[in-house]
Amino acid sequence: MKNLKLGLLPTSLYFLCLFLFGATFSPAPPKVHTVEISQMRFNPDTLVVSKGDTIVFVNKDLVTHDVTEVSGKSWKSPALTSGDTWRMVALKTTDYFCSYHPVMKGKIEVK
């Protein structure tokens, strides 16, 4: 019993150190941001995030929308019908639009 406890001690110390070190020096954990699609707009239409943050798009309109990277080539959400949500991880600054309603535009700014 005694031996076992002593044997565990260095391991616990190691994890304690790792925890303290990690808590002090690792970057902030990724955040989750929401963009609401309503009244034919992305709200907010410009969103500033950190690299690796998650963005959740929520379609609160009655018509179908999507979220498409401006060239239409890098990424694109599926068709989001009323009530659907779609999440993506932000990696770099991009302009986007709704391919069904190209007058609807938005921007993700990765700082």
Partner 1 sequence: MKILKSISASAIGLLVGLTLLLTPALGQDNPTLSDAEVAHTAVTANQIDIDYAKLAQERSNNAEVLKFAETMANDHKAVIDQAVALVTKLGVTPEDNAVSKQLLANAEETKEMLRTKSGAAFNKAYIDNEVAYHKAVIEAVEGLLIPESENAELKSLLQSIVPALQAHLEHAQMVQAELNGK
Q: Which residues bind partner 1 (CB under 8 A)?
A: 39-41, 61-64, 82, 99-104
- Quote the CA–CA distance of 33 and 54 in Å, as a whole number: 6
Q: Closest CB to partner 1 among 46 and 81?
A: 81
What does the block give as tokens for 2?
């005694």
Three-state helix/strand/coil letters over 52-71: CCEEEEEECCCCCECCEECC
CB of 99 to partner 1, least distance (A): 8
- Quote the CA–CA distance of 35 and 86 in Å, as a whole number: 10
Q: Closest CB to partner 1 among 28 and 62?
A: 62
CB of 98 to partner 1, least distance (A): 9
CB of 81 to partner 1, least distance (A): 8
